[in-house]
Amino acid sequence: IFRMLEEIKQKYSGLQLQNEDLYMATKFGDFIQMTVRKFRGEDKEEELVVNYVSKNVNNMTVNMPYQCFINGQFINADDGKTYDTINPADGSVIASVSSASLADVDKAVAAAKEAFENGEWGRMNARERGRLMYRLADLMEEHQEELATIESIDSGAVYTLALKTHVGMSVQTFRYFAGWCDKIQGSTIPINQARPNHNLTFTRKEPIGVCAIVIPWNYPLMMLAWKSAACLAAGNTLVLKPAQVTPLTSLKFAELSARAGFPKGVINILPGSGGLVGQRLSEHPDIRKVGFTGSTPTGKQIMKSAATNLKKVSLELGGKSPLIIFSDCELDRAVKMGMGAVYFNKGENCIAAGRLFVEESIHDEFVEKVVEEIKKMKIGDPLDRSTDHGPQNHKAHLEKLLQYCETGVKEGATLVYGGRQVCRPGFFMEPTVFTDVEDHMYIAQEESFGPVMVISKFKNGDIDGVLRRANTTEYGLASGVFTKDISKALYISEKLEAGTVFINTYNKTDVAAPFGGFKQSGFGKDLGEEALHEYLRTKAITVEY
């Protein structure tokens, strides 16, 4: 086959043929017709047409698609509706974005279903699928500064963090899962033989079908990558709804996926309302899996909607992650890491340390050091490379955070620092510290999802007591402990009811390590080999011979 194709290409310079072209044309006449069409250029993909909003910002021109991406094309919403997406650094409008309708959802799901059942994607071998994902990762890396700039102006992320984490980890995620594509395999299983017959049982790992992915606004591109890379590596097609307030990097990703060569219908992006688009995806009869990151109440609603056709569901939901700091820790490191645990990405971080338990003997010194370090933080333009702390994601969230702080003061917690909006344009909030927080208080039980450090002290040496307090929450996403005593650390890691435990570090996630919560923080995993299983089904086959 290879020799024949090379002979044809030698005779007809410029003709592009691959082995798969012959495999897909099993009759000689069909192969000749396909070759002639290719030679005439009749089989070329339609050129991708992208309408942009372009802005000169961050010493570059960024080109941002703003329409729905359905079946390989950027199109307006079916009913023509749009909405404004806002720059949280100054409150200005970045772009008017198409707001997908129910009709758009149905079109996107139909395109994804056709691509999965009858399209090139469904026939593609696993190694070729991986090659496309590697190519997409390379394109994302080539456009990393543009993606990070879009992420920064749309979500308020500090540019340096957007470049390193939001975009950098997204590229790593696609490369990691690209490597898994041709390593998804079943197993052979010895079973009882019904003599004199012989039996062989083996399993196949198969893609589920059309998947819906609904992501939050705190890490728009990275949350897209965490879920869609595993979904695509498993061989599924997808319809993704970005958060309504941060759609722009998802739409830029759609453009890059098309330029990487992903077939039409494999990836579809629908900006718009969660109550409309997300709800329809959750209950759509042709969706076979929903992957969601967001609030616990919305996750519960998705579970109810998914019951209509018993979709597979994975949920990464709210958290109130405890961080326990013992007196035998390396204090300066604990202060630095503790601040990162709370203020990383302006506190808009699903695994943020929602409550710090500090041993009594070092409590006051710890608080003093934290306040000293906060005063050194630069709050300002997220595109300024020297900025430490950018604006909150959107106005309604800032208002919610201010109310959260007011509640803490009313309940009797001590506001040591911050708690106010910064007096400048945009949605900026001061990094905040509360102490004397008692277990019954609202701020001890509910996450802020913002730059609010909630500190409670515990009695010296009371390990089991602080463990009980740390576990007295309905959430179980992450947790942490700082101590030089490794036996104590391992004992605590065993007892903490959380999907991730950090020891003498925090926020250290990696594409190869599974990520997900317990209790009302959800179920299912992102990242690592376990994430693949969220997007696969197992079929058992038994043969008698």
How many beta carbons lie within 10 A of that of residue 345, not counting itself? 24
Q: Which residues are catalytic?
A: 316
Quick one: pLDDT at residue 44? Answer: 66
Which of the 8 DSSP states describes residue 384?
Answer: S
- Does residue 21 surpass a pLDDT of 80? no
Decide if 52-317+526-538 and 322-512 have a common fold.
no
Q: What is the rounded average pLDDT of the residues 17-40? A: 80
* CATH level 3 topology of 52-317+526-538: Aldehyde Dehydrogenase; Chain A, domain 1 (3.40.605)
Over residues 389-444, the pLDDT tens digits come to: 999 999 999 999 999 999 999 999 999 999 999 999 999 999 999 999 999 999 99
Long-range contacts, 443-446 (Cβ 8 Å, 24+): 443/404, 443/407, 443/408, 443/411, 443/413, 444/355, 445/320, 445/473, 446/320, 446/404
Percent of the chain topping pLDDT 70: 99
Domain ranges of the chain: 1-40, 52-317+526-538, 322-512
State the pTM of this model: 0.93
What backbone torsions phi and psi does residue 347 show, to the nearest 5 degrees? 80, -5
| CATH of region 322-512, choose from 1.10.150.20, 3.40.309.10, 3.40.350.10, 3.40.50.300 | 3.40.309.10
Q: How confident is the model at residue 13 (pLDDT cuts 50, 70, 90)?
A: confident
- Pairing type for strands 432-435 and 452-458 reads parallel
Structure confidence by residue, pLDDT tens digits, 120-140:
999 999 999 999 999 999 999
Residue 57 has pLDDT above 70, yes or no: yes
- Going by C-alpha positions, the residue among 281, 289, 285, 273 that lies closest to residue 230 is 289
Q: What angle do CA 37, 43, 45 make, to 5 degrees?
A: 165
What are the tens digits of pLDDT across the range 233-244?
999 999 999 999
Residue 468 has a pLDDT of 98
Pairing verdict, β 452-458 and 52-57: unpaired
Give tens-digit pLDDT for 34-56. Answer: 888 887 877 666 789 999 999 99
pLDDT tens-digit readout, 445-479: 999 999 999 999 999 999 999 999 999 999 999 99
User: Pick the residue with more confidence: 22 or 381?
Assistant: 381
278-292 pLDDT tens trace: 999 999 999 999 999
For residue 525, the tally of other CB atoms under 10 A from its CB is 22
Nearest 5°: the CA angle 443, 445, 448 is 50
